[in-house]
Every structure is written in C-alpha cells, then in structure tokens.
C-alpha cells in the first residue's frame, strides 16, 4: 500500500538532514513510513551545495514544510573532527579517506581549537560530554547555514512557508530533543521538547 501511494509522486511531510551513522536512520527515529520524508544523509550532518540543493528541491518542488537537522550523541564524525583538530593531523593521512577533509573542517568550525588544551586532563566521560556538546553546536550551525547560504530557503522562511529546526537524537535512550534556543521560522519554545522515538 505504501509503495502504491508513493508511486504517485513525492509528498514529504518534512526533510530530515542527518548523519550517515547506521544507528540513526531518520525513518526509524521518527517512526515514519515509506514516502513520509525526504532523507538527506551526510557524515556530521554538514552543509554543502549538494545538501542545500537537495533541501531546496524537497521544499520548492515536493512541498515539504519543515526541515529538521538531526545530530546525535556519540557521533563518530564529530569525535574524529575534534581529535584531528587537537592532534593537528591531516584527515587523509590519518584515515586514508581522500575526500574527508571538507567534512572534518566544516565540523571543526563548531568549536574553538583552544578548547583542545583541556581535553588531555579530563575523564573519558567528560570528553564524551564535550563531543556531544560540539555535535549540538554543529547542528545549530547547520540550521543557520541552511538559511544563510540558500536565498531560496531564506525566502521560504521569510514567507512563513517553511521552518528549519535542529534536534539531537540520544542514542542511549532513543529520544529526540528539539533545540529550541534558535529555531528558524517558528515561534521559540521556552524549553526543548522531547519526542519519544
């Protein structure tokens, strides 16, 4: 039945930009079915022209009204970006991944390299908390960049036709926390909402 419905053309409820991590598929996180969303996935849920083009298409052509940027706790891409920044190692030399550097550099913009000085003196739990904080800042940065780097999406936000929000998926509990401090195109909430997965 879902296949027949989706064969008539896409009508997504939302566009979800999320990480490629295998434990964070948007359809499962939000308990959605086939055809409910457009899913854009890239390591570290970072913004690029290709990502923006996909989001623009989903909003202007397919009619999505909501863009959700979803980061997650225990993010390997964010942890790698932090470690590479603090050791000042070259991403390709360290990982063997020829095209990883733009993603790593993008994530590294979400934190101050000076913060690396304290990392050797903290516990593994504190480091994990720090990395989760960077992941959250990275989500908000992506939310901001969607509007700043796309005049198409910025116009749709100004016209009240779409909203752009950030969220964090807690992998250990399966809950999603909306980042309510600076949503774009929607009224700010007093507290971040929690959505059971």
pLDDT value of position 152: 98
Q: Has residue 101 been placed in a domain?
A: no
- Hey, which residues does 195 pair with through a beta bridge? 176
**pLDDT at residue 187 greater than cutoff 60:** no
Tens of pLDDT, residue by residue over 39-54, are 999 999 999 999 999 9
Domain assignment of residue 18, given as a range: 2-74+131-196
Q: Has residue 90 been placed in a domain?
A: no
Query: How many domains does one find in the chain?
Result: 1
| CB 37 within 8 Å of CB 15 | yes
Is pTM, for the whole model, over 0.95?
Answer: no
Rg (CA), the chain: 17
Q: Has residue 82 been placed in a domain?
A: no
pLDDT value of position 193: 42
β-pairing, 66-72 with 163-170? parallel
Token pair, residue 21, equals 């991590």
Q: Has residue 41 been placed in a domain?
A: yes
pLDDT value of position 195: 43
Tens of pLDDT, residue by residue over 14-37, are 999 999 999 889 999 999 988 899
CATH code: domain of residue 56: 3.40.1050.10
Q: Has residue 155 been placed in a domain?
A: yes
Tens of pLDDT, residue by residue over 59-108, are 999 999 999 999 999 999 999 999 999 999 999 999 999 999 999 999 99
β-pairing, 37-41 with 66-72? unpaired
pLDDT value of position 192: 39
More confident residue, 140 or 8: 140
More confident residue, 59 or 3: 59
Q: Has residue 120 been placed in a domain?
A: no
Q: Has residue 122 been placed in a domain?
A: no
Q: Has residue 177 been placed in a domain?
A: yes
| CB 136 within 8 Å of CB 71 | yes
- Hey, which residues does 67 pair with through a beta bridge? 15, 164
pLDDT value of position 14: 97
pLDDT value of position 100: 95
Tens of pLDDT, residue by residue over 109-143, are 999 988 999 999 999 999 999 999 999 999 999 99
């Amino acid at each position: 039945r879902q296949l027949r419905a989706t064969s008539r053309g896409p009508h997504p409820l939302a566009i979800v930009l999320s990480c490629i991590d295998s434990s964070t598929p948007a359809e499962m996180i939000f308990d959605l079915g086939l055809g409910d969303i457009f899913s854009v996935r890239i390591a570290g849920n970072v913004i690029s022209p290709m990502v923006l083009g996909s989001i623009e298409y989903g909003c202007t052509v397919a009619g999505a009204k909501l863009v959700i940027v979803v980061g997650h706790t225990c993010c390997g891409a964010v942890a790698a970006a932090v470690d590479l920044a603090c050791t000042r190692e070259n991403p390709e030399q360290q990982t063997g991944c020829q095209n990883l550097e733009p993603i790593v550099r993008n994530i590294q913009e979400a934190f101050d390299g000076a913060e690396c000085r304290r990392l050797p003196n903290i516990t593994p739990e504190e480091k994990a908390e720090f990395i989760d904080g960077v992941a959250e800042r990275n989500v908000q940065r992506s939310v901001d960049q969607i509007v700043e780097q796309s005049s198409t999406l910025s116009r749709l936000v100004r016209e009240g036709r779409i909203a752009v929000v950030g969220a964090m998926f807690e992998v250990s509990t399966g809950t999603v926390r909306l980042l309510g401090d600076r949503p774009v195109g929607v009224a700010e909430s007093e507290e971040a909402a929690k959505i059971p997965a």
